[in-house]
Amino acid sequence: MKHLLALIALLISFTAQAQGFAAPPTVAAKSWLLLDVTTSQILSSASADERVEPASLTKLMTAYLTFSALKQNRITLTQNVGVSDRAWRTGGSRMFIEPNKPVSVDDLIHGMIIQSGNDACVALAELIAGSEENFVQLMNREAARLGLKNTQFKNSTGLTDTGHYSSARDLATLAVALIRDFPDFYPIYAKKEFSYNRINQPNRNRLLWLDPTVDGVKTGHTDAAGYCLIASAKRGPRRLLSVVLGTESDNARASESQKLLNWGFLFYESVRLYTARQTVSELRIWRGASNTVKAGFLDDFVMSLPKGTAEKLKVSFTSRQPLMAPVRRGDAIGTLKVMIDDKPIGDYPVVALEDVPVAGIIGRSWDALRLWLQ
């Protein structure tokens, strides 16, 4: 149901301001976004679809494909990787791998994530796809599969390259996919330092030291991109994720991200409207083996709302009529409209909770006659 909810953009910021609730903070960044991961709702954003350089946030896709290769047993963590001259000579931030000195996949992953090693990225790309160019094709194919509409990759590192771009919304989608699809690897993003080749380097995400609820995700910086940070924090059952792109300094990307996260946790709460498979309505269905079908949500229907507004919620339900069999469990058969003080804040698809196959010839004929008479 989270995927269904994500199809409908919730006008939550407008509603909050119209009702006099706390407005979003002013964020000193080129573009930004705050997402409630628990409910798939964007709480606030600015220029979220603007195409910008993602810098080392690119490494989230490099990591995603690396984790996929591990999950599919195409590579292993203990596998030793030869270091090419190209990987060794890659500029920017490095983990300092060396030619003729094999390095394990596990070390490369830690070097890529914690030390933001560009050399590690190229070494992993070459291992998985044979060359960085081939790996970039995989990156763009995966971006399309994940629905990243404003993203195009030209390299595995995030170094400035013509036509290499992404957006705050796409990067949030990618970060959520990584957290969701690879929970066993995500804890690496919370590690504060890593040593390789007798060189110790700290994680550049300052919030790991400043906020104990922050457990990732990734920093980025180039002259063109500015200072960027995707930060995720979990407080109680809620997880929020902020994307802040194009700030002026390392301190700014941390402080602006912290500001957004604190605002989201302080002024919003998660409210469960319906439990999974709870019947919202029972609908008349025609030409079916049953005359009715139960409608509801397959997962808990949870919304992020400004605190203190839950008691003002009103809902109304409309269904697709006439509803004809066959209907399969999960088919959208109605719409739930959610309002606060009669102001609409979102329409959400309601699905069939059960299968209803087509009736026999007698049942179909009888319903056809009744529909004609109506």
Q: Which residues are catalytic?
A: 56, 59, 116
Distances from the Cα of 20 to the Cα of 148, 306, 307, 343, angstroms: 34, 10, 12, 13
Please check whether residue 114 is in contact with residue 121, taking contact to mean a CB–CB distance below 8 angstroms: no
Distances from the Cα of 264 to the Cα of 2, 23, 58, 189, 217, angstroms: 19, 10, 25, 22, 17
34-58: burial string, b at 16+ Cβ within 10 Å, e else: bbbbbbbbbbbbebbebebbbbbbb
Q: Which helix (H) or strand (E) holds 257?
A: helix 250-267
Q: What is the DSSP string of 312-356?
A: GEEEEEEE-SS-BS-B-TT-EEEEEEEEETTEEEEEEEEEESS-B
Q: Which helix (H) or strand (E) holds 175?
A: helix 168-181
Please check whether residue 152 is in contact with residue 165, taking contact to mean a CB–CB distance below 8 angstroms: yes
- Name the residue type at position 94: R
Distances from the Cα of 365 to the Cα of 285, 361, 370, angstroms: 14, 6, 9
Which residue in the block uniquely carries the two structure tokens 């798939």?
40
Closest among 188, 198, 217, 174 to 106, alpha carbons compared: 188
Three-class DSSP category at 249 = coil
Give CA–CA dist 152/142, Å, rounded. Answer: 11
